[in-house]
Amino acid sequence: MHCKRCAKCCLTSPPTLHKEDLSLIIEQKILKDKLLVLRKGEIIFDHFKQQYIVLKQELIKIVSTKLGCYFLKNQNCTIYEYRPIECKHFFCQNQQKILEIKDKNLLQRFDIINKNSAIGELISEHEQKCSLQLIKKLLNTKQYSKLEKIIEWDEYLRKSLKDKISIPDNLLNFYFGRPVKEIINNTSHLIIHL
């Protein structure tokens, strides 16, 4: 059996990055604005388990579009030579290799960003003030005014960085994950139950 290059894997879910993929970012084969951070505590659909799960640690994924992975163009991978390790191990007819690495050695933001840099300190502050564990607690206890303050702070931080130093939205989604309001709007019905 061999890969037919059908792009099924690219259409299903963009890859999660592993520490082995760090050089792709350092060498700018994959730019940070093409990455999305899914934060610890977020609810995502796991395509292997075919169910929603709560993330036990953050994931860095390649951004997806309506057509699948950002790097999929005309049914071809535009970074095939430099594709991430999950792409190299994914084979739709036998998923054993991908399952062996799936949750191991995952890349984290602070593998890429210096935790003591200005943006690193903002990421840490954001994780503290916009903790998804805290958001779940506030939703469960119906403390909506406190939840609104978290949403306002998240929006303020993003707008300030965008206006003052021109950080685009897609790069903000790498630094801070998806906006809190978006996470709540998309998954609040699940947050309470999971």
CA–CA distance, 83 with 97 (Å, rounded to integer): 16
- Band of pLDDT at residue 43, cut at 50, 70 and 90: confident
Rounded to a whole number of angstroms, the distance between the first and last alpha carbons of the chain is 39
Average pLDDT value for residue range 83-89: 89
CA–CA distance, 175 with 123 (Å, rounded to integer): 7
For every residue of 120-152, which 3-state class applies, written as one string?
A: HHHHHHHHHHCCHHHHHHHHHCCCHHHHHHHHH
Asked if residue 122 lies in contact with residue 164, where contact means CB atoms within 8 angstroms, the answer is: no
pLDDT value at residue 21: 97
CA–CA distance, 32 with 11 (Å, rounded to integer): 21
CA–CA distance, 179 with 170 (Å, rounded to integer): 11
Quick: pLDDT tens for 158-169: 999 999 999 999
Instruction: State how far the alpha carbon of 23 is from the alpha carbons of 30, 90, 117, 180, in Å.
Output: 9, 20, 20, 30
- Band of pLDDT at residue 16, cut at 50, 70 and 90: very high
CA–CA distance, 113 with 119 (Å, rounded to integer): 8
pLDDT value at residue 191: 54
Question: Which one of 4-13, 45-54, 55-64 scores highest in mean pLDDT?
Answer: 55-64
80 pLDDT more than 80: yes
Q: Where are the domains of the chain?
A: 8-109, 113-191
Quick: pLDDT tens for 100-156: 778 899 999 999 999 999 999 999 999 999 999 999 899 889 999 999 999 999 999
Question: Rounded to two decimals, what is the model's pTM?
Answer: 0.88
Asked which of 14-18, 55-59, 86-90, 102-106 is least confident by mean pLDDT, the reply is 86-90
pLDDT value at residue 194: 46
Residues in CB range of 77: below 8 A, 6 or more apart: 7, 10, 69, 71, 83, 87
